[in-house]
Amino acid sequence: MKKYLSIILLTLIMCIMFSTNGIAESKWSPTKGLEYNMIIYGKILVDGSKIQSSSYVIGAFDDHDLCKGKAAIKMHDNDTNFYMTVLSNKNGEKLYIKVMNEETGVVYKVLDSIIFKSDSTIENMVLNAY
């Protein structure tokens, strides 16, 4: 009886873990149907240090925590680079940047925000996530 109870408990825990991860991933899916775009690219640090893994993603979010852009962080010449297309329907919208380690699910916030401007590019941006 204890064996079956342990199996049921383990199965329940795994279901909760996987369903929570799915919720986190869906929050990081860019909103569809947005008309305008801008490009942001640069480097990312986490807690002031270079990321040593390509298992991170970067996302841009509005005041309602809707995802407006998402990109993988790439390793290149011992630096971590990103190239992200950000979408919106209004110029002047304030967007917040987050970084997530996809292996651990830990999300870091970037203190700096960006202001959306259609058809523009923010280049060589250095973001520090905490």
Average pLDDT, the chain: 85
Going from N- to C-terminal start, the domains of the chain cover 30-129
The pair of structure tokens assigned to 53 is 């893994």
pLDDT at position 99 over 90 = yes
pLDDT at position 102 over 70 = yes
β-pair partners for 39: 85, 121
Task: State the average pLDDT over residues 85-97.
Answer: 97
pLDDT at position 22 over 50 = no
Residue 83 and residue 108 in contact, taking contact as beta carbons nearer than 8 Å = no
Q: How far apart are the first and last CA of the chain?
A: 46
CATH topology of domain 30-129: Immunoglobulin-like (2.60.40)
CB atoms within 10 A of CB 28: 17
Q: Predicted confidence band at 80 (pLDDT cuts at 50, 70, 90)?
A: confident
Whole-number pLDDT of residue 25 = 52
